[in-house]
Structure formats: C-alpha cells, structure tokens
Amino acid sequence: MDNFWQSLPKPLLVLAPMEDVTDTVFREVVLSASAPGALNVMFTEFTSTDGLCHEKGREKVSQRLKVNKSELDRLKAGNIKLVAQIWGDNPENFRKSAQLITEMQLFDGIDINMGCPVNKVVKHKSCSALINYPDLAKEIIYATAESTDLPVSVKTRIGFNQIITEEWIGHVLETKPKAITIHARTRKMMSEGPALWDEIGKAVELRNQLNPGTVIIGNGDVSSYGDALEKAEKYGVDGAMVGTGIFRNPWLFNQIAPEITIADRIELMRFHISLYRDTWGGSKDYNVLKRFFKIYLNGFAGAAHWRDQFMRALNFDESLELLCNMQNEFRMKEYITADRY
C-alpha cells in the first residue's frame, strides 16, 4: 500500500480530526470550498476501538466512519487522502479495528489518537493519557501497524502535565510510524495559551536523528493558508494541520479565493444544511448543526441578527426558509443601492 505521507508533495496541508465536526458532511463542505492542490489530507472524527469491536455498539460508532459517495468522488478527483482516526487503550481492539477499517476500503491511512485531552477518555488511559504510559502506547502502535497495510500515524501532544517533547516523541519514533502530528501544547494546557511551535521544531530535529522516514506535521494556532506555509518553513515540518481555524474561514484551503461575498456564504451554508439533512436525516440531532452557523454568519452588517434567527430554528425546513429570507433581503439591498447610484 502506498505511503502517501511520503509520496504527496510537501508541505502538506491537513484538516484536523474534530469531535462532532469532521463527519462526511463537513469534510465535503470544506472540499467544495477548497482550491485544487491546497488541501492534501483529511481526518474522520475520533472513533472508539472498543465501540468498533462491540457487536451491539458497532453500528452507532460506525457513523463516524461514514463516507458519502459524493465526498469520495471529490477526494479521488483531488488526490486528497482520508485517514480514519481511532482511540482506546486495548491493543487487541486496535488490532481488530485496524482490520475492520482496512476491509472497508474507504481510507488511505489509520491514525491513533494520543492527543485528545477530554477527562472521560483520559481517565481510561486513552488518548493523551497514553503519554504517561509509553510502553502501552508503543504496544498499541505496533498492534495497529501489524494488522493493516495502510500507513499508520499518531496524533499527540508535547506532554501531559509538563513539557516532555523529546522524551515522549522519542518513544513514539521508536515504533517508526509513517507520520506524527504534534499539537504544540500539553494536555494540561488544553487549547489555552499560545501553541509552542519551538517544541515541534525540537521534535523535527529528533526525527532527523532517529527516524528520517517519519513525516512530522505541526498543529496549533494555524490561522490561514499563508500561516500554515510560514510555520512549515520556519519550523522545518513536513506540513501543518488546521483545526479551529476552519471555523473562522471555511475557505481557508483556497489561497486564490476572491473576496467572500454574502451570496457565497449563503450558498455554502445552504449546501451544508441540505447535505446534513440528506446524509443524516433523523439519525443525528438537528441541533448539532447549529455549531456551524457562526462560520457563515459573521463579518457583515446584520450578521448577529441572522445568527440569532438561525439559532432559534427548530429543524432543517425552518433553517432553509431563513436562508431564502436572508438571500431576498440582501438582494433587495443590492437592488436599492444599485438603483440609488
């Protein structure tokens, strides 16, 4: 199987895995707003290995690995790679999960979450807690890699309660993962304070000494396409991962985009709502969609008013009707302005 982490041109631009965000719908929304060649790799939401290996829980958990055909077509057309991210604390379940994911033939890689800081997963020796259990972490990486021909990568942090970048990344590098994404904060920092990219630079130097074949991706406070390229060059990483920056600008992976108009915002929001409805129907709570509305409804006069209206909407039909009202209102304003001058 092709190790795309090495074969894709550098620097790589990557969309981060985000809980209740990077499902097949949102990924396709970002794909539709991205320029050819500007986005290289995308990740699924975090998927529990325990859930995947549980006969009754598998169906619900597998929603996180759903890939719409329309998304798959866009990925293939743009040579953009899709990575399934998994988490847990049981090496045997990682082994089984890797086999299941490989058999799905939808993904180009498997990533192990060793960075999520949320208490409910950390208390079970999962995600960022694995920084405190390097032997278990290595066992999990080996078990996963032995069970698939897909390239296996790791997403992690620079420490748990304190910064131990070189010690911890040294442990991970021993397993020779195809890539390591490093969020430049400790678990204790969560997402607070500036990302410590100098620590990522230290990890790059260590990689160069111990295992030059492992790709290093930097993560934390990447605010724009230009910022991603600048950080990649300054710190010597092979690429940069965008997380919450996509909430400020869904066109972030479109470096040649003209000024984004209100009409552009309305059309992308309509696409998002319609695709979410058609994909999930009643199987996912409509209200989850509301966390995305601020992405589109900002930066123009009257944005706060429209955000309030959309947050009050109770279902897909109401939100789509509001979009029509919004579109008509702005068309009328443009007509009046054009007539006046």
**Does 72 have pLDDT greater than 80?**
yes
Q: Residue 326, SS3? A: helix
Query: What predicted TM-score, i.e. pTM, was given to this entire model?
Result: 0.94
Q: Residue 163, SS3? A: strand
How many alpha carbons fall within 13 Å on the CB side of residue 179?
Answer: 34
Does the domain at 4-248 match CATH 3.90.550.10? Answer given as no
User: What pLDDT, in 10s, does the model give residues 173-204?
Assistant: 999 999 999 999 999 999 999 999 999 999 99
**Does 337 have pLDDT greater than 60?**
no
- Torsion region of 338: left, alpha or beta (phi above 0 gives left; psi -120 to 50 gives alpha): alpha
User: What pLDDT, in 10s, does the model give residues 285-298?
Assistant: 999 999 999 999 98
∠ CA 326-330-334, nearest 5°, is 170
User: What pLDDT, in 10s, does the model give residues 215-242?
Assistant: 999 999 999 999 999 999 999 999 999 9
CA 209, chain centre distance (Å)? 29
If one compares 281 and 113, the residue with the highest pLDDT of the two is 113
- pLDDT, residue 340, reads 34
CB atoms within 10 A of CB 193: 11
Which one from 53, 116, 127, 324 is the annotated catalytic residue?
116
User: What pLDDT, in 10s, does the model give residues 106-163?
Assistant: 999 999 999 999 999 999 899 999 999 999 999 999 999 999 999 999 999 999 999 9
- pLDDT, residue 1, reads 65
If one compares 108 and 55, the residue with the highest pLDDT of the two is 108
pLDDT classification of 257: cutoffs 50, 70, 90: low
| Cα dihedral 76/78/79/80 (nearest 10) | -90
Helix, strand, coil: what percent of the chain each, to 5?
50, 15, 35
pLDDT classification of 206: cutoffs 50, 70, 90: very high
- pLDDT, residue 339, reads 39
* Residue boundaries of the structural domains of the chain: 4-248, 262-340
Known active-site residue 53: no
